[in-house]
Amino acid sequence: MTAVQFVHLHVHSDYSPMRGVSSLEELCLSAQRQGSPAMALTDTNGLYGAIRFVEQAKQLGLRPILGAELTTDDHRAVLLAKTPDGYANLCRVLSERHCNPSFDVLASVSRYRDGLIIFTDDEAALMAWAKDSRQDLYVELTPGPAMHDALLFSRHIGLLSVATNRVYFSHANDFATHRLLRAIALNTTLSRLLEEACCTSRQWLMPPALMASQFPHVPEAVENTVRIVEACHSDWRFGETIFPAFRRLTDEEAFLTLKEKTYAGAQDRYGSIAQEVRDRIEKELAIIQGKRFAHYFLVVEEIVKTSKGTTCGRGSVAASIVSYCLHITHVDPIKHNLFFERFLNPGRKDPPDIDIDFAWDERDDILQWVFEQYGERQAAMVANQNSLGFRAAIREVAKVYGMPSEEIGRISSRVVRQKDLLGFSTLPTNEQWLCRISQVLKLKAPWTEILAQALKAQNHFRHLSMHCGGVVIVPDEIRRYVPVEYTAKRLPVIQWEKDQTEDAGLVKIDILGNRSLAVIRDALAAIAKHTGRRIDYETWDPLNDCATQDAIRRGNTIGCFYIESPATRLLLRKLWTGMPPHRRAEADVFEYLVMVSSLVRPATNPFVEDFIRRAQEDSCAIWHDKLRGILDETHGIMTYQEDVSKVAMALADFSIDDADQLRKVLSKKHKAKQLQDYRVQFFDGATENHVPLETIEDIWKMILSFAGYSFCKPHSASYAQVSFKSAYLRTHYPAEFIAAVISNQGGFYSTFAYVSEARRMGLAILLPDINESDWAYRGEGERLRMGLMQVKTIPKELGERIIKERAQNGPYRSFQDFLGRVKPEPAHARALVRAGCCDSIVGELTRPALMWRLYAGSDFASSPLPIPDDYSSAQKRAQEIESLGFLASRHPLTLYRKQIERLRPVPASQMHRFVGRRITMVGVLVTEKAAETKHGHAMEFITLEDVTALYDATLFPEVYRRCCHLLSPNRLCVVRGLVEEAFGIVTLTVLDLYLLESRMDEGNHPRPLVREPVCGESCDALLDPPHNSFL
């Protein structure tokens, strides 16, 4: 170590928000190539990338030195963690910096400087801290005009000096990107960016020899960098599990409490406790005790008990019978063959999560209880580390170039829309992409340069936000493990995202909001109110209900949790429609729903059709003899996360630890290097086991399909149970169910789509009415009454006031009575009138007459006012669309009856009669999902509806490029395409698409398509589709 000339101790990565340019990987790799044995990471006011830095440095053989640059308006200093206690104090200082509005940097560092090495050129700070102690206090020398004064001060005060370069990027040519980031952060243009707002172009990661040459007159400052490294702790061993503590119990007391609660819960769940149940409980308790997890279970159980009962414990913990007995989860792991070892096993080193879904509108109360119970001293939220996305990067870079707002919006939208439509056969370089996009969009200067800079600026860390539900609870003080900041809502949030949190050994509890649980809760309450039937959520088991099973088989699941998307409904229909009767009779609908829940992922899963085909066969070939018995349940297709581990162990002789780590790596963002290492290990191991190369490659492709977001079987089973309960309510109580779905908002589809589905289900749609409507939607019997919530601009407070006054003093007898009793703002009253909410109380008055009375105010009773004619039907429909957001009184396609009949479209309900033929259809665009071909070309799946049914269509790349600008929800479309069938289910491959209104001439006649016929297709076939009565 003594032969080393210099080590960088002041280095900013791209975790210094909108300051640092280079990633941790780039910096560590540069340091390694320069022959440096160590490097410090000192990001601005944070340890945002500390865990990833330690991991990256160790992989490259560097000693990682942890630190941060602490800055305020008046002072700055670099703090390095010399010892583990120093690390804890560093976390405390950074937490105070972010959480204390009256933060005093001098006092805070004095209070927590034990175990810290401090250096700065801030003379006031040095003077103050030197009065306490001169130990581990240095004057920072950085090449530049200020270095001479800093050196003189160090000699005057008698403090040692240390050489740094205050690094912000790994290469000298990255300075322009640094200036760009600073301009974005300061919301100014590059031409107005002040010099002092940036570093200099020389603050890059210079090689040690070059750095040493910058200090010929103070070689001791260079030597001190090496001495500091030798003094600093670098063998960081993050990852030892840090458990929460339950009510100050000892480990033994906590375990005994857990055991007692588990057996009490088993009695409640099972009645008499069979030996199989007892054996499973004892097995799990032994592992829980050995891993010291008793506190964790007890803390989570207490959190769940604070809710109103409609919960869904999910994730791998659903495989635990202990969690089932504690009512944390609701799927019986014995009945559904779930393995506890997926959640916890003796060899598992990292702490698993327990994820609990609560009704979305109860989640904040649960979080508030957690912080009241444990306080900010012990609890904090996990962070999301937000970075610049591509579209945001374009807009921000264009702003710093001084481009006009209107032009920024127009060009950025065009670029993003065309980004994936450029037809590259392989992944292009940035230069290739820039060249092609500039040609396609005919971009003028400086837009090509702006896009080039946007590519450099994207993905840079910008700020923290709060994770959707992750909470960390520690036994002592959270701020000794990780720095804490406050969110805008004054909730404490740690500086790490979920991956670094887990890698640091902090146990995360996910407290998540789930709208479908609120849907079920509200539907059950409405059912009890309307019918007197009370269904207990926890004990209710509808899995054997035949009508519900049939609805799921047919994909009649719109509104149902997790199985309402077009992809899932299509998969369900394909799976069951083509299944032979004898297979259908023996297949368990719930078990297949569990598989379907795991097969449908955000990323395209290319093995779905293989699964369907195999599920419909009496027997299917196995990939290799070593996999015999492993994937039988899922017909040879890897479906659950744990299948990855099982296959890796069986086929390539992975250890249980390596197999579990492979599974974990697939779900992480920064995984390329580790995944490549596991690929080599997998191919080598499988080859040694004489597995054919083609089979190895096919299996590895299947493993890669789990990259990003995928489920374990216990998680899928928990979700499927909620899905099944949703489907039961939809099947047997459609009005109450759809009302709850719409009222809780946030479903997969728009309110219009749900109202249309309700109409197709035979429900009468009743418009909002001040004498009949509640605030939310209300369903009863065969009617769905729209709520006042649907009227735009009407605040909830007014809606509740209308309902409360009506309940206390009876229905409103007239418009004058309503105004006198409720006293709404004139604008709100006008909105209610235009929405038709007052039509039932106006008597002979028209809506225009009501408007006159509103304008006349209190004088309308004594002043003669004109009585204008009522609005026309068309005007009322326009007001309805404007007020409610869509046409609810009738399907919008019925407004175009004559025009549509001239098109002679095929109704969606009749598509199956035209397989292999080109047809014309019309429909309202309900939803769309972007996708890519295997060559990376953009395409799209869309779902439309006419008055008879929903139908699915596919736009392949060529058609998508022509029509993508027309695709937005609720548009009325004419679609022409080829009807295709797969597994007994029909879909439409789109050949052309246009808006219904766009092809009507002045006489409302359809104009012919302006395009050449497809090869083999006559013009007559295009312009004269099969005759069918549509409406």
Measured distance CA(924)–CA(757) in Å, rounded:
13
pTM for the model stands at 0.89
Helix (H, G, I), strand (E, B) or coil at 249: coil
For the chain, the C-alpha Rg in angstroms (whole number) is: 33
pLDDT tens for 579-603 read 999 999 989 999 999 999 999 876 6
Q: Is 60 exceeded by the pLDDT of residue 905?
A: yes
Mean pLDDT of all residues in 797-823:
96
pLDDT tens for 248-293 read 999 999 999 999 999 999 999 999 999 999 999 999 999 999 999 9
pLDDT tens for 603-626 read 667 889 999 999 998 888 888 989
Mean pLDDT of all residues in 373-388:
96
Torsion of the alpha carbons at 864, 865, 866 and 871, rounded to the nearest 10: -150
Q: Is 70 exceeded by the pLDDT of residue 723?
A: yes
The pair of three-digit structure tokens given for residue 1004, joined into one six-digit string: 């409302």
Q: Annotate 945-1004 with three-state secondary structure.
A: ECCCCEEEEEECHHHHHHHHHHCCCCCEEEEEEEEEEECCEEEEEEEEEEEHHHHECCCC
Query: CB count, 10 Å around CB of 140?
Result: 25
Measured distance CA(80)–CA(102) in Å, rounded:
24
Query: What is the CB-side half-sphere exposure of residue 26 using CA atoms within 13 A?
Result: 17
Mean pLDDT of all residues in 344-369:
90
Q: Is 50 exceeded by the pLDDT of residue 536?
A: yes
Q: Is 90 exceeded by the pLDDT of residue 7?
A: yes
Helix (H, G, I), strand (E, B) or coil at 358: strand
- Domain boundaries, given as residue ranges, for the chain: 24-231, 251-386+466-515, 389-458, 520-720, 790-884, 892-1023
Preceding peptide of 1006 cis, ω within 30°: no
Q: Is 50 exceeded by the pLDDT of residue 1011?
A: no
| Residue 827: per-residue pLDDT | 94
| Residue 933: per-residue pLDDT | 83
Pairing of strands 63-71, 950-955: unpaired
Q: Is domain 251-386+466-515 classified as CATH 3.90.1150.10?
A: no
Mean pLDDT of all residues in 903-913:
96
Question: What percent of the chain stands above pLDDT 70?
Answer: 94
Q: What is the total residue count of the chain?
A: 1031
Residue with tokens 């009738």: 890
Measured distance CA(735)–CA(741) in Å, rounded:
10
657 pLDDT band, cuts 50/70/90, is confident
| Residue 421: per-residue pLDDT | 57
The pair of three-digit structure tokens given for residue 183, joined into one six-digit string: 């301009």
Mean pLDDT of all residues in 471-499:
95
Query: CB count, 10 Å around CB of 563?
Result: 27
Q: Is the Cα torsion angle 637, 638, 643, 644 positive or negative in sign?
A: positive
Are the C-beta atoms of residues 24 and 49 closer than 8 Å to each other? yes
With 0-12 / 13-18 / 19 or more C-beta atoms within 10 angstroms meaning exposed / middle / buried, residue 1018 is: exposed
Angle at 679 between CA 678 and CA 685, to 5 degrees: 85
Query: What is the per-residue DSSP string for 140-179?
Result: EE-SSTTHHHHHHHHHHHT-EEEE---B-BSSGGGHHHHH
Measured distance CA(116)–CA(69) in Å, rounded:
12
> Which of 51, 58, 89, 40 has its CA nearest to residue 228?
40
866 pLDDT band, cuts 50/70/90, is low
Mean pLDDT of all residues in 374-400:
95
Are the C-beta atoms of residues 786 and 888 closer than 8 Å to each other? yes
According to DSSP, residue 609 is labeled H
| Residue 573: per-residue pLDDT | 96
> Which of 812, 961, 972, 836 has its CA nearest to residue 900?
972
The pair of three-digit structure tokens given for residue 104, joined into one six-digit string: 């005093």
Considering the domain delimited by 24-231, tell me its CATH architecture: Alpha-Beta Barrel (3.20)
pLDDT tens for 673-701 read 789 999 999 999 999 999 999 999 999 99
Pairing of strands 76-81, 63-71: antiparallel
The pair of three-digit structure tokens given for residue 568, joined into one six-digit string: 């899932």
Are the C-beta atoms of residues 957 and 922 closer than 8 Å to each other? no
424 pLDDT band, cuts 50/70/90, is low
Sequence-distant contacts of 891-895: CB under 8 A, at least 24 apart: 891/756, 891/759, 891/947, 892/924, 892/972, 893/922, 893/923, 893/924, 893/946, 893/947, 893/972, 893/1031, 894/947, 894/1031
Residue 93's alpha-carbon distances to 46, 103, 480, 970, in angstroms, are 10, 10, 10, 53
Measured distance CA(1021)–CA(1027) in Å, rounded:
12
1030 pLDDT band, cuts 50/70/90, is very low
| Residue 595: per-residue pLDDT | 96
Query: What is the CB-side half-sphere exposure of residue 1008 using CA atoms within 13 A?
Result: 11
Mean pLDDT of all residues in 739-761:
95
> Which of 787, 757, 789 has its CA nearest to residue 927?
757
Q: Is 80 exceeded by the pLDDT of residue 1014?
A: no
Considering the domain 892-1023 in this protein, what is its CATH number? Answer: 2.40.50.140
1026 pLDDT band, cuts 50/70/90, is very low
Question: What percent of the chain stands above pLDDT 90?
Answer: 79
The strand pairing partners of 313, in sequence order, are 356
pLDDT tens for 923-964 read 999 999 988 887 778 899 999 999 999 999 999 999 998 998
According to DSSP, residue 1008 is labeled P
Q: Is the Cα torsion angle 895, 899, 902, 903 positive or negative in sign?
A: negative
Measured distance CA(880)–CA(525) in Å, rounded:
30
Residue 1022's alpha-carbon distances to 78, 329, 1015, in angstroms, are 72, 56, 12
